[in-house]
Structure 1
Amino acid sequence: MIKKFSHFIEYQMTSDIERLQRSVDVSATQTAAQMQRQGDKLIAEFTTAVRTELEKRTSELEKCRQSVNNEIVELFSDVNRLIEESKECMKLGENLLRSASLSDMKRLVSKFSKIQKITTDYLATPRPEFPDLAITLVEPENTVSRTFSAEIGRISRPDIKSIKITHKIYLQTSIFEPDVEINRKSDRLKHEQTINAKLQSDTECPDLYSILVLEGQNSNTIVVTDWVNKCVKSFSSQHKTVQSHVTTGRPCCLAKTRDHQVLVTLPRERKLLYLNVQDDIHLIKTVTTKKGYHSITVLPDDNMAVTAGLSGCVDILNQRCYVIRSIPNKVIPNPGSLTVKGDSLIVVSDTTNILTCVSSSGQVMWVLCDSARFHRLYGVACDTEQSVYVCDNDRDAIVQLSRDGDVIRDVITQKDGLKQPVSLCFAQDKLYVTQQNGEIKIFGWSQT
């Protein structure tokens, strides 16, 4: 009886063990399949997360590269200014020799002495050794985390400020102006002069779409387009000479080439005019373009950036006016006025009041949309420190922005005599602004 019962108990125990083991094996197989499914899901999520992280870091790297390159250029701004001042002094000397005016020579000889001392001191100072700069990736620390994340690392930028230029270049402003230190972020702009652009030949009040300043030794030449009267006008800053050149269509915007020719767009006729503006305005040549271009600016490589209407794009043209690439409307919606800022572009989006900083290849550096401040943006310009100025027509204001797109202040307002600004440009520490009433306002920096 004991033997019989012991066999039965052994059979039951073996059966229970086998059943339990089978359930473990089946559940393990099921769990392995579930793990595979979860693993595949995590791999898909991980791939998406890594791709997103890569795109984020790549964009950050490009912005860092542009910013560091701009800082390098700024590091040598005094040296570059010395070169420009020397060139201006050379032009002044050539003009003096041609004019053979002894009184002018005596009056201006101090400027040559000043630039001579500066250049001599510069060359006598040993040239510093500059270390190579590198943008690097700082890898993340390995940490135990209960949540899933993809972390590639962070971009580490070189310290440009650690580089010291030992040359002492005493160029506070210009050899052609008094040595006055200007802080453009705090000093105010004071109204200095108003020029009425209406001529006797005009049939209607001037509609000044664009303004450009050609810098001279004794006085500047102001060039404007008059859309409604179909002409290009030039004024000396002292308002002693006035010239007018009638165009075949309505002129829109202006730009200046390196050899000081003036470019004028005729969007309705799809033409681009090349003018020589000196004692008189002479047409050099006319180029027919495939599109009707409105705004225009000249890039550092002598190519041109143009806008092709509200629903168009920003085209980059070579010197023969052929399109070499385009920045589509989806990147910069409704492109209007534009200007050069270093090696990038600042573009105003018409109707949407958006400012976009973009490289000539189409890489967006920053976008500013300040609906509370911006009401109706028109013209835009940059100064030598790459600060940005934009006309807000409805608020009767010029808004000043930093080079990185941060709003600094309303630098000129209605209290300064400004009313409905349309276009503006920067020259020799002055802002030249056209107004809707046909007037040109000139503002100079005044220390607070």
Structure 2
Amino acid sequence: MDLRATPVLQDTIDVRVAGDSNVSYPTDVTVMVVNDTDTVVVTDWNNNSVKSFYTRDNQTRHGKLSLGCKPWGLTKLTHNQVAVTVRNINQIVTVEVNPDLVLLSTITTSKKYWGITSLTPSTLAASSQSPPCVDILDMTGNVLRLISPLHNGNNILQYPSFLCTTRTGNILVSDFGTKRVMCLTPEGDVVFNYSPTGDTALEFPQGITSTSTGDILVTDYSLHSVIHLTESGQFVRNILTQQDGINYPRGVCVDGRGHMYVCLISGVIKVFTCKH
């Protein structure tokens, strides 16, 4: 993905499918290649479901797994498995993508988690808002370590809602309560703390991802933008704005083919190409 290039809209995926009773609110998104098929996996918070979208025999198809509760965060575990936080109950579910969706397991947790990211094959990081922290978990839901990063003696997490893992194994956190993005080591040390003021101030940071080059993309729900940061947490530019049709964005991800996927409150995922 060439983040210096101008992103061009390539596709719009309508997340609402037959059988949905509510307006779709795509929240978090990832892309995986399953059986040579590019598959977009998304949590639809308002329809209590995880969905997959893919093309087979030149037909756009979808899978849907109803959970009965509100899924939020999403992370890839393996080439064909994801883990999903269920925000309103103490659960993380694991799902097989083939490219339809099959519930594999339900992990009972001690807290209600929002953001989630896979750290190693046997550990996850997940963010809680009550109390505000990031927990390192094993695959049975046991808390191995609780991270409450301090600044001047105060916990600088309030509403950590999305997580991702960097190429060096650190944890990126977007927090709309303190209007910041931070990078934490799995041991809990703060690598950087991005909370700018002025023109580049964040208002409502949400979805976050990092690319194979270490660059960071974070959405701002209130500013209708996708922001590009360097690996060390320096502002580069607003790579997508309202002029690009970005309205109230949440989850964001990139694939290995130079595409960026952005979840929008209008019930769609917009797919942009970043290539020269």
- Which of structure 1's runs of 4+ aligned residues deviate more than 3 A? 216-219, 329-332
> Residues 422 and 435 of structure 1 are in contact (CA less than 8 Å); yes or no, is this contact kept in structure 2?
yes
Partner of 2:162: 337
Q: Which amino acid aligns with 1:294?
A: W
1:360-379 aligned within 5 A: 360-372=186-198, 373=200, 374-379=202-207
The Cα of 1:216 is off from its aligned counterpart by 4.2
Which residue is equivalent to 2:23? 205
Deviations 1:47-104 (A, max 9, x none): xxxxxxxxxxxxxxxxxxxxxxxxxxxxxxxxxxxxxxxxxxxxxxxxxxxxxxxxxx
Deviation at 1:400, TM superposition (A): 0.1
Shift of 1:310: 5.4
What is the distance in 2 between the residues matched to 1:368 and 1:239? 43
Cα deviation, residue 312, structure 1: 2.0
* Contact 2:114–2:127 under 8 Å retained in 1: yes
In the alignment, does 2:257 pair up with 1:433? no
1:243-282 paired onto structure 2 within 5 Å: 243-282=63-102
Q: Kindly state the Cα deviation for residue 301 of structure 1 after the two structures are TM-superposed.
A: 5.4
Q: Indicate conservation of the 8 Å contact 1:203/1:229, yes or no.
A: yes
SS in structure 2 of the partner of residue 234 of structure 1:
strand
Give % identity. Answer: 26
Q: How does 1:322-333 map to 2 (within 5 A)?
A: 322-328=142-148, 330=150, 331-333=155-157
The change in CA–CA distance for 1:384 and 1:284 in structure 2 (over 3 A counts) is same
Name the aligned partner's letter for residue 336 of structure 1. Answer: S
**Residue number in structure 2 paired with 1:289:** 109
Q: Deviation per CA, 1:271-326, whole angstroms, max 9, x where unpaired?
A: 11111111421111111111111110001454100001254210001222211111
Question: Matched residues in 1 for 2:7 and 2:249: separation?
Answer: 15
Q: Which runs of 5 or more structure 1 residues have no equivalent in the other structure?
A: 1-181
1:403 to 231, 234, 237: 231
Aligned with 2:243: secondary structure?
helix
Aligned partners of 2:37 and 2:99 also within 8 Å: no
Relative distance call for 1:260 and 1:218 in structure 2 (3 A) is: closer
Q: Which position in structure 2 is the counterpart of 1:195?
A: 13
Once the two structures are TM-superposed, the CA of residue 446 in structure 1 deviates from its matched residue by 2.9
Alpha carbons 1:350, 1:377 under 8 Å: kept? yes
Q: Distance in 2 between matches of 1:377 and 1:267?
A: 18
Structure with greater helix share of residues: 1
Q: Letter of the aligned partner of 1:439 in structure 2?
A: V
Query: Could you give the per-residue CA deviations for residues 347-390 of structure 1, whole angstroms, max 9, x where no partner exists?
Result: 11122211111101011111111233222211111110110000
Could you say if the C-alpha distance between residues 276 and 369 of structure 1 is closer, same or farther in structure 2, counting changes exceeding 3 Å?
same
Match of 1:413 in 2: 241
**Structure 1 residue 192 displacement after superposition:** 0.5
Partner of 1:138: none
Helix, strand or coil at the partner of 1:221 = strand
Unaligned residue ranges in structure 2 (runs of 5+): none
What is the CA distance between 1:332 and its match in structure 2?
A: 3.8
The amino acid that maps onto 2:208 is V
**What is the CA–CA distance in structure 2 between the aligned matches of 1:306 and 1:424, rounded to whole Å?**
17
- Aligned ranges 1:98-137 → 2 under 5 Å: none
41, 49, 53: which one aligns with 1:235:
53
Residues 7, 240 of structure 2: 8 Å contact kept: yes
Aligned CA distance change for structure 1 residues 381 and 249 (closer, same or farther; 3 Å): same
- Letter paired with 2:104: I
TM-score relative to the length of structure 2? 0.90
Q: Name the CA distance, whole Å, in 2 between partners of 1:366 and 1:329.
A: 11
Q: Give 2:182's aligned residue.
A: 356
Higher RCO, Cα 8 Å, sep 6+: 2
Counterpart residue number, 1:99 = none
Count of residues in Structure 1 that have an aligned counterpart in Structure 2: 265
Cα contact 1:424–1:432 (8 A) shared by 2: yes
Q: From the two aligned structures, give the one with the greater strand fraction.
A: 2
Query: 2:85, 2:114 within 8 Å by CA — same for their partners in 1?
Result: yes
CA RMSD of aligned residues (A): 1.8
In 2: Cα distance, 1:224 partner to 1:443 partner:
16
Q: Larger Rg: 1 or 2? A: 1
> Is contact 1:215-1:427 (8 Å) kept?
no
Whether 2:175 is the aligned partner of 1:346: answer no
Distance in 2 (CA, whole Å) between partners of 1:218 and 1:339 is: 25
Partner of 1:11: none
Q: SS of 2:219's equivalent?
A: strand
Check whether the contact 2:125–2:136 (CA below 8 A) recurs between aligned residues: yes
Match of 2:217 in 1: 389
The answer to whether the aligner puts 1:305 opposite 2:134 as a matched pair is: no
Residues 353 and 371 of structure 1 are in contact (CA less than 8 Å); yes or no, is this contact kept in structure 2? no
Q: How far does the alpha carbon of each residue in 1:384-421 deviate from its partner, in whole angstroms, 9 at most, with x for none?
A: 01100000112211000000100000111222222221
Question: Using the alignment, how far apart are the partners of 1:433 and 1:380 within structure 2?
Answer: 10
Which amino acid letter does the alignment assign opposite residue 72 of structure 2?
A: C
Are the counterparts in 2 of residues 312 and 329 from structure 1 also a CA contact under 8 Å? no
